[in-house]
Structure 1
């Protein structure tokens, strides 16, 4: 099992960041390319695992300012995004991914470095989305 986590300051209050992050119409602007969400109710999620698309699930907890996702019927991949308030009308977002089984990221090396890079890029894209909403 491998766990990856990044945190980044966000340019708006926590509620605004969560609102942008949980808006299904904006998902494709900030999520990494290996996760796609169709804006249906509930949102239809597909995650790419080992280069194969797999059906996923997405849970929203507005009262906790948290999104959680994973693969449908499997614990091989899961993740969450938690938004928390900070001083002076700012906030920060924590993005966490877990890989179980034989996912390449579990073996370190280039695959794990790619996950780290995607976490940083994903949070940077979310910050840009928030700044423009």
Structure 2
């Protein structure tokens, strides 16, 4: 089993960051470039991974009250993850992403996961910045 955690502070209110991060129709804007999420019957989604060319049945649960999103594969149990949003004061937000890979044989390398987490949080921060800078403001 491999676990990874990465956090990032973003200059926006928690609700703004949560809305951007947890919009199932816009996950591709910040997830690793080789993952593509296609909503099915909620909470079901299909995740296509370019690296393997495979589709995986997964579940995504979004809890707006707790500012949390959780996900994981359904049949295979290969991985799970969660994203937690928390106010950090002064109009900033702390975003934490946690991934667990249970099947080492199908897990990406540690360095690939670390790099993907860092790049994903960079892209999420940019999406949040663009939303906050839009003429109509957050919303």
- Whether the aligned pair in 2 keeps the contact of 1:70 and 1:79 (CA below 8 Å) is yes
- CA RMSD for the aligned pairs? 2.1
What is the CA distance between 1:25 and its match in structure 2? 2.8
The TM-score, its normalising length taken from structure 1, stands at 0.86
What is the CA distance between 1:105 and its match in structure 2? 4.3
The 4+ residue runs of structure 1 with deviation greater than 6 A are none
The TM-score, its normalising length taken from structure 2, stands at 0.82
Most deviating of 49-58 and 22-31: 49-58
Change (3 A) 1:105 1:74: closer
SS at match of 1:37: strand
> Which residue is equivalent to 1:36?
36
- Whether the aligned pair in 1 keeps the contact of 2:46 and 2:55 (CA below 8 Å) is no
Distance 1:83 1:66 in 2: 6
- Whether the aligned pair in 1 keeps the contact of 2:34 and 2:51 (CA below 8 Å) is no
SS at match of 1:132: helix
> Which residue is equivalent to 2:124?
126
1:62 pairs with 2:60: no
Distance 1:29 1:50 in 2: 18
What is the CA distance between 1:11 and its match in structure 2? 1.8
- Whether the aligned pair in 1 keeps the contact of 2:39 and 2:46 (CA below 8 Å) is no
